[in-house]
């Protein structure tokens, strides 16, 4: 069994075992097993990066087995410089989620932990699948655990949010399924993604494919105007659910653009780049303004995620190395930062049971250690140099300015809006005099909470100070991708 | 006189016939209210018949028997095996339910065996009249089973509706078959096929006959606009009998459609495929939309059946367009795969419904599933798997069924069929809503009914295996797909 298979199936099997044998009477054992499984699943992904050959754009750690012979479907896995970091990010975030749930989830612990472990394995599968149908199966399968997580452990409007999440995403991905089968037919009976990359297609077919893929990935990213499921899902999901949604699930959509839309339909991607860029800029500017007026902290971070993901799609569709690499770095750092922000909200919510900004004020007086972390992550969220948030945004802005000055100018407003909504929230929640009795009664974070925030803080600072390992791994894959996309498939 | 009988071809049917009579006799001496001897005798018979079908399928030959009235080919035996298995599973689920409603009589077993005999005859038919004979045997057994609770007004009403409308549909079919006879001069399927191929016939009579045949088939499949009986019968019949109607007979309906339209009338496939397309799209529309409005679980599942049959029928519509045998088998085998997976998912769904019913309490409303995940996470998990499978979400087997049919549609490379495929997925999105609603009720809501759920160990075991199968075939669907396509290829090549 290869490393990638191990990274997929280890958490899934651990999750299934927990579902089958776990009971709330021995919840503690369940938590420890979940933690061990999450750490082990992360450990098996480490050789992927240490053994990664950054000098080639070819797929590495490949595994290829026949799966459904009648349809010529293969269990084909592999990673390149674009996907490998997401595999690690997924496994890492799962550890954090398990730690975050330690004391918070007290009912049906085994189902909660099991759902997250299974979800983690499935998401690793999405990032490492090289067969179109295998990708689709993993992509869709993520819906089931997330639907259950939001619906069972979520807030008061959880049922509405869970349905909206499921049906919105399903609607998009069903169109992608049609596109995949169409490609299967066009390529003479192959589901290999890499074969599809080389498949010549006329403009008509490319346009249809581009928009079918767009339907699936734009919903997942999410891009304006199909973003409305995200604030609902984020607000109602339990803390762990919000963390996984923001840190990883949104990236599935953006990753899809790089793996499918751009290389399979390069001419359509060039022809409709204005469309994606326009939607991305609307996300950056308009959603940034929307975030400014939110009363609910989770909603604010949710809107901020949409704006940040708009940055990623913008970076992809200016077709320059700086843009694409910057967008990828931005996605990874956003994984850490948004996850951390949701965890901070979770820490407050567990104590006060309110997400309203107005319920807080002067938290720094009673929780100094926690406030230090929260301010650090807030700074990273608005892209302060020295944090992970800065590197990606700066690269994307640089790339955009090179392509077109005015687009770059518009994109860079995110620095203003991002700082505005984040810092204003920080001011109202953390600084100032103690606002009420609830805040006065707050206890500072315990060792468990310190540990999870510290892990993320290290990651955020590391990305900010020394992003070279990330950009180095991506470099060859990204340039090869751009070379491929620059060549027209029409003749 | 008795020449060319070739009894070997009909051994499974003979065993069924003999054992149905034996079970009826033996039951007269059984005093046990649980009917243990009768039950196990029936199950043993089904196991033997299923095993025989499997052996015949494995041997892979095509033999004609009963003076070429019957044919034994891999397709018939594959379906025969699944039908026997479906009835076995049905009886396991049905026994505790029937016992608590004073329905556990010898007739339940005898009639189940007779309905399976009818199904087997249809599966092996090589003649229009034999198909009709099998259909009537199956239907009459099912009418009687529906009416088994004589003192129950709803069941009696359902039985009347089923009987009257079923007889009407049989009349349609028979009328169509007689016109076919008038047009082609034969009732033998291969002779009809040849007559149409050579073109020596009256096309008006043929077309008219075809319309009646398709209408009769649509009734049996429950396709719109011939679906009216289905929600009432599913709802009114005792759940055990609903399961008998919803399970194995669907396989027979598939076989009947295949034998009549594909093996007999593929010369006029262009005509019947248009009708199928209309039926399929109408069924998906009405089934999916009407299912949303249901609060009764059995009615909801009935409308869901209508929608699913519509999706399955799409597999029948693609084959003439592309012409060659290989892509024809693509369409039919996707429909076969769809049907088989659908039947076993449905069995499990009704199995859970029956499990939640108990003495004096019918678990019929969607609200009766409230909080099942808290009452019993195991059954809730199994039911959730069935729901995701019916909705077509991977990694359950229902996804591959939909994939196979969509693939058959899209590989025709005809714009109209691609548009139909898009329509089909959008309607299955509507379908996902009501299946998800059941998951919601089970997982997101608190239980109202706190009575412990008691289940016999065999029911528990079979239900768990059923759920596991839906999941395992979802992860490794290749083998079953290959079997289906193999059977269809053999049937088309002879």
Q: Which of A8-12, A268-272, B200-204 has the lowest mean pLDDT?
A: B200-204
Chain B CB contacts of A185 below 8 Å: 410-411, 413
A353 in reach of chain B (CB within 8 A)? no
Q: Mean per-residue pLDDT for B306-310?
A: 93
Residues B55-64: tens digit of each pLDDT: 988 887 888 8
Tokens of A283: 């996300």
**What is the pLDDT confidence band of residue B324, given thresholds at 50, 70 and 90?**
low
Closest CA to A10 of A123, A116, A118: A118
pLDDT at residue A214, as a whole number:
92
Q: Is the pLDDT of residue A355 over 60?
A: yes
Judged against a pLDDT cut of 80, whether residue A488 lies above it is answered with: yes
Instruction: Name the strand (E) or helix (H) holding A394.
Output: helix A388-403
- pTM for the model stands at 0.91
Q: pLDDT-derived band of residue B3, with 50, 70 and 90 as boundaries?
A: low
As a whole number, mean pLDDT of residues B308-330 equals 75
- On whether the CB atoms of residues B318 and B331 are closer than 8 A, the answer is yes
Kindly state the tokens that stand for B435. Answer: 């299946």
Q: Which of A303, A312, A387, A290 is nearest to A342 (CA)?
A: A303
When CB atoms are compared, the residue of A108, A158, A167 closest to B444 is A158
CA nearest to B329 within chain A: A70
pLDDT single digits (tens) B131-156:
999 999 999 999 999 988 878 888 88
Is A167 within 8 Å of chain B by CB?
A: yes
Q: Does A181 touch chain B (CB under 8 A)?
A: yes
Considering chain B, what percentage of its residues have pLDDT values greater than 90?
A: 37
Highest mean pLDDT of the ranges A414-418, B137-141, B263-267, B355-359: B137-141
pLDDT at A432: 81
Chain B interface includes A393 (CB < 8 A):
no
Which residues of chain B neighbour A171 with C-beta distances below 8 Å?
426, 429
Name the residue facing B481 among A70, A137, A178 (closest C-beta): A70
Q: Count CA atoms closer than 13 A to A385's CA, side-chain side.
A: 2
- Sorting pLDDT into bands at 50, 70 and 90, what band is A128? very high
Q: Does A163 touch chain B (CB under 8 A)?
A: yes
Contact B394 A141 (CB under 8 A): yes
What is the rounded (10 degree) CA torsion for B315, B317, B321, B327?
A: 20
Angstrom CA distances, A131 to A24, A183, A185, stand at 39, 12, 14
Average pLDDT across chain B, whole number: 87
Mean of per-residue pLDDT scores for chain A:
88
Q: Residue B475: its pLDDT value, please?
A: 87
Q: Which residues of B touch A68 (CB under 8 A)?
A: 400, 477-478, 481
DSSP 3-state of B203: helix
Q: Report how far apart, in Å, the C-alpha atoms of A181 and of each of A110, A139, A190 are.
A: 37, 15, 9
Using CB atoms, pick whichever of B381, B407, B440 lies closest to residue A71: B407
Task: Express each pLDDT in A212-227 by its tens digit.
Answer: 999 999 998 888 888 8
**Confidence (pLDDT) at B326:** 57
pLDDT per residue over A279-306, tens digit each? Answer: 998 988 898 889 888 888 888 989 999 9
What is the least distance, in Å, from the CA of A429 to any CA of chain B?
Answer: 32
Q: Which residues of B touch A140 (CB under 8 A)?
A: 393-394, 399
Q: Identify the bridge partners of residue A131 per DSSP, sorted by sequence position.
A: A192
A140 and B393 within 8 Å at the Cβ level: the answer is yes
Query: b vs e for A431-450, b when ≥16 Cβ sit within 10 Å of the residue's Cβ?
Result: eeebbeebbeebeebeeebe
Higher pLDDT, A131 or A434: A131
Determine contact, residues B79/B147, Cβ cutoff 8 Å: no
In this predicted structure, the answer to whether residue B116 has a pLDDT above a threshold of 90 is yes
**CA torsion sign, B202 to B204 to B205 to B207?**
positive
pLDDT band at B325 (very low <50, low <70, confident <90, very high): low
Q: How many CA atoms lie within 13 A of B283 on its CB side?
A: 28
Q: B197 is written with which tokens?
A: 């191929």
Contacts by A177-181, CB closer than 8 A, 24 or more apart? A177/A136, A177/B403, A177/B406, A177/B425, A178/A212, A178/B406, A178/B410, A178/B418, A178/B421, A178/B422, A178/B425, A179/A208, A179/A209, A179/A212, A179/A213, A180/A132, A180/A133, A180/A136, A181/B403, A181/B406, A181/B407, A181/B410, A181/B411, A181/B421
pLDDT in tens, A68-80: 888 888 999 999 8
Q: Are A314 and A280 in contact (CB under 8 A)?
A: yes
A9 vs B: CB within 8 A = no
**In the prediction, which pLDDT does B327 show?**
66
What's the distance, Cα to Cα, between the start and end of chain A in Å? 42
Query: Per DSSP, what are the bridge partners of residue B64?
Result: B71
Residue of A nearest to B442 (CA): A152
Residue B137: which of B303, B286, B8, B252 has the closest Cα?
A: B252
Give the three-class secondary structure for A126: helix
Residue of A nearest to B446 (CA): A152
Q: What is the largest CA-CA distance in chain A?
A: 72
Percent of chain A at pLDDT > 90 equals 20
CA distances from A238 to A234, A252, A443, A461, B381 (A): 8, 20, 21, 26, 21
- Residue B157, Cβ density class (10 Å: 0-12 exposed, 13-18 middle, ≥19 buried): middle
The strand pairing partners of B278, in sequence order, are: none
Q: Are strands A73-79 and B63-65 parallel, antiparallel or unpaired?
A: unpaired
The residue in chain A having the minimum alpha-carbon distance to the alpha carbon of residue B424 is A174
Q: Which of B109-113, B241-245, B265-269 has the lowest mean pLDDT?
A: B265-269
Rounded Cα distance between B83 and B469, Å, is 16
Tokens in use for A80? 């390149």
> What confidence score (pLDDT) does residue B322 get?
52
Residue B1 has pLDDT above 60, yes or no: no
**How long is chain B?**
494
Task: Quick: pLDDT tens for B206-226.
Answer: 888 899 999 999 998 888 888
Interatomic CA distance for residues B76 and B61, integer angstroms: 11
How large is the average pLDDT for residues B361-380? Answer: 83
> Is residue A131 predicted with pLDDT exceeding 50?
yes
Mean of pLDDT values over B446-456: 78
State whether B426 and A166 contact (CB < 8 Å). no
Which residues in chain A are contacts of B411 at CB distance < 8 A? 181, 184-185
Sort strands B70-72 and B63-65 into parallel, antiparallel or unpaired. antiparallel
Q: Which residue of A has its CA nearest to B388?
A: A144
Contacts of A70 in chain B (CB under 8 A): 478, 481-482, 485
Nearest CA in chain A to B415: A182
For A166, residues 6+ apart whose C-beta sits below 8 A from its C-beta are A143, A147, B432, B436
DSSP A402-429: HH-HHHHHHHTHHHHHHHHHHHHHHHHH
The span from the first CA to the last CA of chain B, in angstroms, equals 27
- How far is it, in rounded angstroms, from Cα B8 to Cα A126? 52
């Amino acid at each position: 069994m290869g490393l990638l298979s191990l990274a997929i199936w280890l958490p899934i099997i651990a999750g299934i075992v927990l579902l089958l044998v776990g009971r709330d009477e021995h919840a503690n054992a369940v938590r420890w097993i979940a933690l061990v499984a999450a750490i082990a699943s992360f450990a098996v992904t480490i050789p992927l990066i240490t053994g990664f050959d950054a000098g080639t754009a070819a797929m590495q750690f490949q595994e290829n087995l026949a799966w459904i012979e009648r349809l010529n479907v293969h269990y084909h896995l592999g990673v390149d410089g674009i996907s490998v970091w997401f595999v690690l990010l997924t496994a890492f975030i799962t550890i954090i989620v398990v730690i975050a749930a330690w004391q918070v989830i007290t009912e049906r612990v085994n189902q909660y932990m099991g759902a997250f472990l299974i979800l983690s394995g499935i998401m690793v599968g999405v990032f490492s699948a090289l067969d179109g149908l295998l990708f689709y199966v993993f992509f869709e399968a993520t819906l089931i655990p997330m639907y259950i997580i939001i619906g069972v452990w979520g807030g008061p409007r959880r049922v509405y949010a869970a349905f909206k999440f499921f049906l919105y995403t399903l609607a998009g991905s069903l169109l992608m399924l049609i596109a995949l089968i169409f490609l299967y037919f066009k390529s003479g009976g192959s589901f290999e993604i890499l074969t599809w990359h080389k498949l010549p297609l006329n403009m008509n077919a490319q346009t249809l494919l581009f928009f079918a893929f767009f339907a699936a990935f734009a919903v997942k990213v999410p891009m304006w105007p199909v973003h409305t499921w995200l604030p609902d899902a984020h607000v109602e999901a339990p803390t762990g659910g919000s963390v996984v949604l923001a840190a990883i699930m949104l990236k599935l959509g953006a990753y899809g653009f790089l793996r499918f839309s751009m290389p399979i339909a390069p001419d359509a991607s060039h022809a409709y780049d204005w469309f994606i860029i326009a939607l991305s800029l609307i996300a950056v500017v308009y959603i940034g303004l929307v975030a400014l007026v939110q009363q609910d902290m989770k909603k604010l971070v949710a809107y901020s995620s949409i704006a940040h993901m708009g940055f990623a799609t913008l970076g992809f569709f200016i077709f320059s190395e700086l843009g694409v690499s910057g967008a990828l770095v931005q996605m990874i750092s956003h994984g850490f930062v948004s996850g951390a922000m949701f965890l901070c909200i979770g820490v407050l919510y567990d104590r006060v049971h309110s997400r309203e900004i107005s319920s807080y004020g002067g938290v720094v007086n009673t929780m100094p250690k926690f406030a230090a972390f929260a301010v650090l992550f807030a700074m990273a969220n608005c892209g302060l140099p020295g944090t992970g948030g800065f590197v990606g945004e700066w690269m994307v802005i640089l790339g955009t300015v090179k392509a077109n000055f005015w687009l770059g100018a518009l994109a860079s407003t995110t620095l203003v809006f991002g700082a505005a909504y984040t810092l204003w929230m920080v001011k109202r929640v953390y600084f100032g005099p103690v606002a009420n009795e609830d805040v006065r009664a707050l206890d500072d974070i315990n060792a468990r909470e310190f540990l999870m925030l510290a892990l993320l803080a290290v990651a955020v600072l590391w990305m900010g100070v020394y992003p070279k390992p990330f950009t180095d791994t991506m470099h060859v894959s990204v340039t090869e991708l751009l070379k491929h996309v620059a060549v027209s498939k029409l003749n | 006189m008795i020449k060319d009988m070739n009894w070997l071809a009909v051994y499974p049917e003979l065993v069924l016939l003999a054992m149905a009579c034996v079970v009826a006799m033996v039951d007269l001496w059984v005093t046990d209210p649980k009917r243990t001897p009768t039950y196990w005798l029936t199950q043993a018979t089904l196991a033997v018949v299923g095993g025989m079908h499997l052996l015949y399928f494995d041997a892979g030959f095509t033999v004609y028997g009963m003076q070429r009235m019957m044919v034994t080919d891999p397709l018939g035996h594959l379906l025969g095996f699944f039908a026997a298995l479906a009835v076995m599973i049905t009886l396991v689920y049905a026994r505790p339910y029937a016992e608590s409603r004073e329905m556990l009589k010898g007739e339940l077993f005898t009639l189940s065996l007779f309905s399976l005999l009818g199904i087997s005859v249809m599966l092996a038919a090589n003649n229009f009249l034999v198909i009709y004979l099998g259909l009537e045997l199956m239907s009459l057994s099912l009418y009687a089973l529906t009416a088994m609770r004589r003192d129950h007004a709803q069941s009696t009403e359902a039985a009347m509706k089923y009987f009257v409308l079923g007889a009407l549909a049989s009349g349609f079919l028979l009328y169509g078959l007689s016109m076919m006879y008038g047009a082609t001069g034969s009732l033998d399927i291969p002779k009809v096929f040849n007559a149409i191929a050579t073109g020596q016939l009256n096309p008006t009579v043929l077309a008219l006959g075809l319309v009646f045949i398709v209408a009769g088939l649509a009734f049996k499949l429950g396709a719109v606009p011939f679906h009216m009986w289905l929600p009432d019968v599913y709802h009114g019949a005792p759940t055990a009998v609903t399961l008998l109607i919803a399970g194995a007979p669907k396989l027979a309906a598939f076989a009947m459609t295949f034998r009549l339209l594909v093996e007999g009338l593929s010369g006029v496939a262009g005509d019947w495929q248009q009708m199928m397309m209309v039926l399929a799209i109408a069924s998906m529309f009405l089934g999916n939309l009407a299912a949303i409005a249901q609060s009764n679980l059995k009615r909801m599942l009935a409308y869901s059946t209508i929608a699913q049959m519509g999706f399955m029928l799409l597999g029948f519509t693609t084959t003439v367009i592309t012409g060659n045998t290989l892509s024809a088998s693509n369409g039919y085998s996707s429909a076969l795969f769809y049907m088989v997976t659908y039947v076993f998912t449905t069995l499990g769904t009704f199995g859970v419904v029956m499990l939640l019913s108990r003495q004096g309490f019918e678990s019929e409303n969607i609200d009766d599933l409230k909080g099942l995940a808290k009452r019993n996470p195991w059954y809730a998990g199994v039911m959730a798997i069935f729901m995701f499978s019916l909705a077509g979400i991977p990694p359950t087997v229902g996804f591959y069924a939909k994939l196979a049919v969509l693939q058959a549609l899209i590989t025709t490379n005809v714009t109209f069929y691609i548009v139909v495929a898009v329509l089909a997925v959008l309607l299955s999105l509507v379908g996902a809503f009501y299946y998800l609603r059941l998951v919601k009720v089970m997982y997101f809501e608190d239980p109202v009914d706190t009575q412990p759920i008691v289940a016999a160990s065999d029911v528990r075991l079979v239900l768990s295996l059923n759920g596991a199968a839906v999941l395992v075939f979802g992860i490794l669907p290749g083998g079953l797909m290959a079997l289906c396509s193999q059977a269809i290829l053999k049937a088309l090549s002879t």
